[in-house]
Amino acid sequence: MNKQYNKSTGFTMIEMLIALLVLSVGLIGLAALQGRGQQFNHAAYVRTQAVFIAYDIMDRIRANPGTDKNSGSYAIPLPSDQDCPFEKMAGKCDGNSCSESQITQYDIYQWCHFIQTTLPDGEAIIAAKDINSDGRTDYIITLMWAEDRDEDAEKKEQRWTLVN
C-alpha cells in the first residue's frame, strides 16, 4: 500500500522573516550609497564653483588695463567673516566709465560677493607673487571653503597662479 504524506508547500514564517531581513539590509545599504553619492556630488559642485570663481578673477585682472602698471593692485585677503571691501562700488561701474583703480575696486567687490554667495564659508586671498621686469605682476589666487557642514572640519584649499 502506497501512503501519501501530505506535505505543506510554500514559505514558513522563519523563511519569510529571513527574506525580509535580507531585503531590509539591502535597502539600508542602498540608502547609504545614495547619501554618500549626494555628498560626493555636492563636493564636486563646490569645487567646480571654486574653479569658476578663480577663472573669473583671472579674467577680470587680464581685462583691466591698469593692472600691468598697478603692481599688486588686486592683492587683497577676503575673509569670510567680514563684509566685502569697496561696497560703495556695487553697481557703480555697470555701464558707466570708471578709472582703472575704480574698476579694480569694483572687480574685487563683485568677486568677493560672488564668493560669499557661492562657496560655503568661503575665503579668498589674492597675493602679488612678484613684479616682472616689464612692470607686470603675477598673482597667486587662493580659495578656501568648507566642504563639510561640521564646524571642526578642515577647509579645502586650492591655488591658482596667474602669470601676466
Sequence ranges of the domains in the chain: 14-162
Q: Which of 52-56, 142-146, 150-154, 160-164 has the lowest mean pLDDT?
A: 150-154
pLDDT band (50, 70, 90) for residue 67 = low
pTM of the model: 0.73
SS3 state at 159: strand
Check pLDDT > 70 for residue 93: yes
What would the grid cell of residue 62 be?
A: 587680464
Higher pLDDT: 115 or 147? It is: 115
From CA 93, how far away is CA 145, in angstroms rounded? 29
Average pLDDT over residues 124-145: 79
What's the pLDDT score for residue 137?
A: 75
- 66-76 b/e (C-beta count within 10 Å ≥ 16 → b): ebbeeebbbeb
Q: Poorest-confidence range of 48-52, 98-102, 114-118, 157-161?
A: 98-102
pLDDT at 44 over 70: yes
Mean pLDDT, the chain, whole residue set: 81
